[in-house]
Amino acid sequence: QSVLTQPPSVSAAPGQKVTISCSGSSSNIGNNYVSWYQQLPGTAPKLLIYDNNKRPSGIPDRFSGSKSGTSATLGITGLQTGDEADYYCATWDSSLSAGVFGGGTKLTVL
Amino acid sequence: EVQLVQSGAEVKKPGESLKISCKGSGYSFTSFWIGWVRQMPGKGLEWMGIIYPGDSDTRYSPSFQGQVSISADKSINTAYLQWGSLKASDTAMYYCVRPIGITGSGWFDPWGQGTLVTVSS
């Protein structure tokens, strides 16, 4: 059981928008920054969002992040078939003194 | 370009020992933490632990404390993940990552390409 809770799967049509939630507690999301990672099939994860809502260079502005209280959200607009991947949230857990990941969400672009 | 390059796939028997590696390049190896993430077959990502090569300060997830050992050789910009006695349940892909931030608690960028460890009799 992951410390951070994500929906196992989400789906939407090409061109549409989807959001992926990540729920935690005051010891992790509530008091630390959240990052998001995209893992395309058969590849290593890649950083998508850091510090809750910042995008590294090269990540299109179709991807966005937000945080409120003990939850965070990844948003993807203008869905493309190439966005089909597993998405993970991550943060630091001050009680565990360790990093923690969400269980991952599989995005299907129908 | 900042890169983490990992050693190749391994096939081992239960009870054997193993040490896999991760070589950093394109940045000051002793100034950043480096960590390890496990992904079991068909499963999600798990944070294992991190090391600061500058002074070998090491932190482990409670789930992995005592199960693995993380080390680094700053003379060759390489971090290691080691097992003393492998179990079938250690079969997984292992990624090395560079956590950003002075405490190692920040985001992970970049990621290594992964090392597949298979433990089977």
What is the 3-state secondary structure of A71-91?
Answer: EEEEEECCCCHHHCEEEEEEE
As beta bridge partners, residue A65 has: A74
Per DSSP, A16 falls in state: -
Residue B6 is predicted with a pLDDT of 98
The per-residue pLDDT for A39 is 98
Query: What is the least distance, in Å, from the CA of A104 to any CA of chain B?
Result: 6
* Interface residue A88 vs chain B (CB under 8 A): yes
Average pLDDT over residues A92-110: 96
Say which of B44, B59, B62 has its CB closest to residue A104. B44
A99 contacts on B by Cβ (under 8 Å):
35, 47, 50, 61, 99, 105
Classify each residue of A61-79 as buried b or exposed e, where b means 16 or more C-beta atoms within 10 Å of its C-beta.
Answer: eebbbebeebbbbbebeeb
Per-residue pLDDT of B67-116, as tens digits, reads: 999 999 999 999 999 999 999 999 999 999 999 987 888 899 999 999 99
Partner-chain contact A102 B61, CB within 8 Å: no
Q: How far apart are CA A71 and CA A15, in angstroms?
A: 26
Q: Does B107 touch chain A (CB under 8 A)?
A: yes
Contacts of A100 in chain B (CB under 8 A): 47
When scoring B37, B40, B63, B107 by the number of chain A Cβ atoms within 10 A, the one with the most, hence best to mutate, is: B107
